[in-house]
Amino acid sequence: MSRDAHSGLRLAALLAMAAVTAIGLAACDQNKSYSHKGGPVDGWAVWGHGVQGQRYSANTQITPENVKDLKVAWTYRTGDLSKPGERADLAFEATPILANNTLYLCSPRNRIAALDPKTGKQKWMRDLKPDTNGATVIVCRGVSYWKDSQAPANAFCAQRIFAGTIDGKMWALDADTGKPCPGFGTNGVVNLQADLGYVEKPGLYGVSSAPTIVGDKVITGSKIIDFHNVDMPGGVVRALDARTGALVWAFTAAPPSVMADPTIQGAQTDSAAKPADAKMKAAAAPAAAPMQTYPRSAPNVWAPMSVDLKNRLIYLPTGTPQIDAVLGKGDWDYYGSSIVALNVDTGAVVWHYQFVHKDIWDYDTPAQPLLFDYKAPDGKVIPALAQATKMGYIFVLNRLTGQPIFPVKETPVSTGGLQKGLSPTQPIPVLPEHQITITKMTDKDMFGFALVDKWDCQRRFNKLKNDGIFTPFYSQSSVDYPVSVGGMDWGGLTFDPKRNILVVNSNSVLGAHHLAPHKGSDGYSPLIGTPYRQVYDNMMSMFGAPCNAPPWGKLAGIDISTGKKIWEVPLGTTRDEAPWPLWFHLGVPNQGGAITTASGLTFIAATTDRYFRAFSTETGKELWRVSLPAAGQSMPMTYRLDSNGRQYVVVAAGGHSALHNKQGDYVIAYALP
């Protein structure tokens, strides 16, 4: 018998022994039980746990020692799955909230569900039935809860769930029944598209993130399809009265030069207006446009916002301006790809800080800002904000002034390519240590499972136009690194204040793209109104892996006082995306976020390999993982209802169409026996 045959038998025997051992351990685990008395009791009242967006739970019942014993406590299914022949571009990214002794969540197509938090049994479900025509990815990340302090305790709609839809409506639902609240807007709904002017398709403008509740205000931004058209609806942020839906204030991220121009209707007043620049109107727009209150094509705010209640500031992560990003026109990027701090009571700008100048790469600000107290090595404490970016950089700012706490260098970058007016420099922070460390790839950075696929990747890479990070668009294919899902995307950051550790998951995937004349239909971003369209070119290997060397996904812990990494590990395996035997712990692309607990645990799904994991926040060691029925492209949450009850950890598992993985509609809760 050959040596290879002996090795194969030995491997098979080891696998069999491991399986028997695992079965025995599982049987032993079934007999374990835990006392659930005592310890902290913490809920999850808003999307990021609190309005500061730290995603940190004070619960300690589940520990690094017992996390391996977690079992499924209950499973709920939303029923929101594509039927044969339907569009399947769904992403189940929802995080439930706990309020009114109930879990509330949304499905991708805005089915709002209320669940019993102990059993997962549905209390009610309201299908808001949005028009998804035009939406590139159909998604809803969460809903919000509000209690009317002026209403009798048991009155109808004294407690409300606010839910934004993919077609731009804000609904107010009674928290106990799911029925619309008639006093809010028109029969419980405010149409956010009503004053935007021409909207080509309903799904081009909508709401994907949970609104922010401050006092009696419901504050919402919007999701606008990037690089679709130079004449798009304005990216306004609106504060609505939680009782009536009336407008309290509105902020539009159009530049001050536009807002100060009295000839541009809608800049100074809330009157009907024509587009900010008539020359930029899309050819398909009708001659008699609908009511338009706000300047067109200003940057939007699609990610969740954060609030400093003490200092009355709300922080807006802004998107990419449609006009400037495509044509390099004027100063339309003034507020684009930035953080904008507003007075939460008036909507007035207090400060703003820009992370990308003249953003043509879709490097908009993708994640909720994280607010925390920065404890400097010298003992000084500064109110701070940490922002994850698609470039893989984390910026740490004084949240009262917008000034960087760690140094930021304006770094020279290329201004070549077909688009004009690009910035000759881009801000790159010195610290915290970067998730993306390669600023210019070479063919030595290419990867292969074998020589043949590595050679093919190197061959194709060497044909790319390569100016390093922030390579502009050319007519020939050029480097796109990191791709526009990051670095970091909406999953953002989580912070353990007890250990002073910032935890971040990120991607490191090479792509390629070019600009082409307007003919044909290929290209995710049509750039209507310009001479070009964006075409995304394949830089995956012949075996379906990214051409650049792994890890393609990472999880890291950062000492936020010094900005230095404490640990970094590959996040995920190739198991569910590659055929056996190509199952390696290489770190894989991920979409979703992490949470931390006071016991020292970091929970995260996010990966394409369909696992839900727990790590030690202090060391990065993987302590537990469980297979999910579909990938968890979401952010988990955890809660405990009372001092005698169990701590639950809940995750939505439904996959993501853009990752081409298995679709699902599962919400799964785990707890100790």
Q: What is the DSSP string of 305-363?
A: PEEETTTTEEEEE----HHHHHH--TTTTTTTTEEEEEETTT--EEEEEESSSS--S--
CA 102 to chain centre: 24
Residue whose C-alpha is closest to residue 175's, from 188, 191, 192: 188
Pairing assessment for the beta strands 56-57 and 594-597 based on DSSP bridges:
parallel
In the chain, what's the furthest Cα-to-Cα distance?
88
Alpha-carbon span 196 to 234, nearest angstrom = 7
What pLDDT, on a 0 to 100 scale, did the predictor assign at position 285? 36
Residue 157 φ/ψ region, left for φ over 0, alpha for ψ in the -120 to 50 degree band, beta for the rest: left
**184: CB partners within 8 A, 6+ apart:** 157, 160, 172, 190, 242, 243, 244, 245
Residue whose C-alpha is closest to residue 548's, from 667, 629, 437, 623: 437
* Cα distances (angstroms) measured from residue 564 to each of 34, 194, 257: 38, 48, 40
Output the six-digit token pair for 457: 């990747």
Output the six-digit token pair for 668: 């799964």
- Sign of the alpha-carbon torsion through 462, 464, 466, 470: negative
* Active site amino acids: 362
What pLDDT, on a 0 to 100 scale, did the predictor assign at position 45? 98
Alpha-carbon span 668 to 281, nearest angstrom = 47
Residue 453, helix vs strand vs coil = helix
Pairing assessment for the beta strands 370-375 and 381-388 based on DSSP bridges:
antiparallel
* Cα distances (angstroms) measured from residue 184 to each of 132, 152, 156, 188, 659: 23, 17, 12, 5, 38
Residues of the chain with pLDDT under 50: 1-29, 265-289
What pTM was computed for the model? 0.91
* Cα distances (angstroms) measured from residue 46 to each of 56, 89, 368, 637: 12, 27, 12, 10
Number of other CB atoms surrounding residue 633 within 10 Å? 28
482 preceded by cis ω (within 30°)?
yes
551 preceded by cis ω (within 30°)?
yes
Alpha-carbon span 661 to 590, nearest angstrom = 12
- Sign of the alpha-carbon torsion through 49, 55, 57, 63: positive
Using CB atoms within 10 Å of the CB of residue 438, give its burial: 0 to 12 exposed, 13 to 18 middle, 19+ buried.
Answer: middle
What pLDDT, on a 0 to 100 scale, did the predictor assign at position 217? 98
Alpha-carbon span 71 to 613, nearest angstrom = 13
Alpha-carbon span 39 to 160, nearest angstrom = 30
Amino acid (one-letter) located at 398: N
Q: Could you tell me which residues are beta bridge partners of residue 411?
A: 426
What pLDDT, on a 0 to 100 scale, did the predictor assign at position 293? 83
For the chain, helix (H) and strand (E) counts, in that order, are: 4, 41
b or e along 178-204 (b: 16 or more beta carbons within 10 Å of the residue's beta carbon)?
bebbeebbeebbbebbebbbbbbebbb
Pairing assessment for the beta strands 553-559 and 501-507 based on DSSP bridges:
antiparallel
Amino acid (one-letter) located at 206: G
Pairing assessment for the beta strands 217-220 and 236-241 based on DSSP bridges:
antiparallel
Output the six-digit token pair for 637: 């949450």
Amino acid (one-letter) located at 244: T
